[in-house]
Structure 1
């Protein structure tokens, strides 16, 4: 009996010890949110998704210690260790974190993805660059293949992510050649002078110099007055065509001073206007006497008077915008800049592009020497080549300084009139004494068998001897 009792005690003791050992060493329950293994993308910052530890219903979560040795700059599998000490015994749980790279590299092309080149050309690679979020610059790993005009660029990073981009090369030529004429596009040739082609060049974006392929059509008869067209045509290898025209005007030679075919004709010309108080009265007189005239205008005065000159059938010629010799005759370009200003004014007011001009001071002026030596020699030829007609005068009214009376103006004009020449009379419509003399001059002309006309582009030029 005593023996059985001892055995019972031993058994109970052993069971108790086993129970204690089981209680002490039985691992707690680790619950890891999102599982024991998670993936983290390269570039993302690791944030623990959460956890919980319990044992026999008791929560030990607050006692957890975490060991985290993740290197966010290096791909790989890392271990997060969760430790908890219960009753002096340490328990551990491991979570695996896989740091992965699933982002494709980026290929950037230098130049456009769609490129057109000449049919006879080969594409020259403009360049490219490949970058990866993990590997950095991987341009050297790019592989290039070409098929049917499509260039493919592909690259793979260390994680196996691949990227591809293409560039399309189209061989075509949609650009016409360019014909450049030597000399002016409009050339004026005096009757009887020799016509010589100034020359031309033709270039193409693909075929380069194709001057020898230019086909020229049209002829110029320098012995017959008229306007002639010369056409220059060229095609490139693709068939793109360019056409350019040159206009050649064969005109009568300038009439110098006291000669001229329109003998006994009086051309009344007025410079420096318009001006309210004089020009408007002059227009009234011309209208009442039914006489045409020519006005060489400036940029001064009201637009309405220029409009009236044009509407009432007179010729509106170009004198100067500024009438400042230092500005006008500083250089050839300065002259044309000044001329263009007054030409644009007339066109804005009338819609008419005047090509009839009078040089400030006339073509024989010497004041231009002070600003540009030889400029009048250049300009008198160049304006004609540009399609302008310039007119001087062979009768001065004296209103520019010689006289300041209407009787003086009248006498200067009528004493110089001749039926053996074209009478181009220089007057200034800004002078009151010219205004007051005009009606008597007109009546003198009518009473003595003269006729009156306005200057047109068909009027032979009356010019001075050039002194500069």
Structure 2
């Protein structure tokens, strides 16, 4: 009985072993030849990945596995499949391109106009993230009252990652009108036309699209004269400001006058020298590698050696007047040429020749000459050219003729107001014009920064002729 029981137990054990062996055989025969670390593998967006690293085990040689990951777009969030092939059998791994990194950004504290709707994006800069982002306030905010408050802005990416930061917002009333830039006074001729909005820009503290209009209805391009144009800026809060600019319409230049070219050149001109300030002017010109023109007189002969020095340094010497006394110079055309010949002879004795470039005392548009000889300027402007001279007025005035020691800042503002390509600036070289010397470096630096060169007058220089009024 006992033997029979033992035999029965042996048969049961043997059967279990057989079942186990068969089960193991079936398992090893049917188990995947390629297995993976995860059932679904995450890939960070825009990253570089190795699909072979997702394999946990290979039954056989791993080098025999081929991979097809052509359907995976690492630049786009989503679910994809990678197919691995071994011994002509495919094994598919589900992968997902994900974004797990939070956006980074900077915030800007700023003022806003009371009562306006403001977007959270206006306070955010330099957003960095691998996916598209959206920006919003964490809570509803209102800027209907004046005052300062702290608000939280949120930047969220397509992966649902969020970064929050606090900004300070000051709500204020808008009381400032938009500012206009690019203004200039215009100098043109009869029959021309001007685009008064060219080069004009307008900016406002709060209004992104402020309005600007120009009223040029008073300008008559068919008649020589001095006119005004009025620019008006206005923002959405109703703040308004007006700017007035001058337009000079001249009669056509004489046939032998030269029109401006497209080259950006500034002609610095100094009347009434030489003086004790001439040396300072020359040294500044050399420092900036600039040249100028000196319209000289006979009133500073103590400093005539500086005429020679200016010429030696490559500057242009031109004729202004010998006595600079209007009563004498404009008594008659003969009186004018007697004076011109005297200053011409003086300069010839210094530099070896008589310059043919001249400037009338007061310019060709002066009206003082009426007191001494009616119509003399109309005659002189014609006669000097008939005698081989060319006269030069200016299209920019520094304003230093208005008095002695005019504030330097005012001179700089006046002298740098032009946007023409060809600019001839009127300065004066006398002992009382110290602020002119002080302003000169800033004027040169301004135009050099805009790409202008500085030349002395020569035979190719444009000829600014103002309207003759006598």
Identify whether the pair has TM-score above 0.5, normalized to the shorter chain.
no
Q: TM-score with structure 1 length normalisation?
A: 0.44
Q: TM-score with structure 2 length normalisation?
A: 0.44
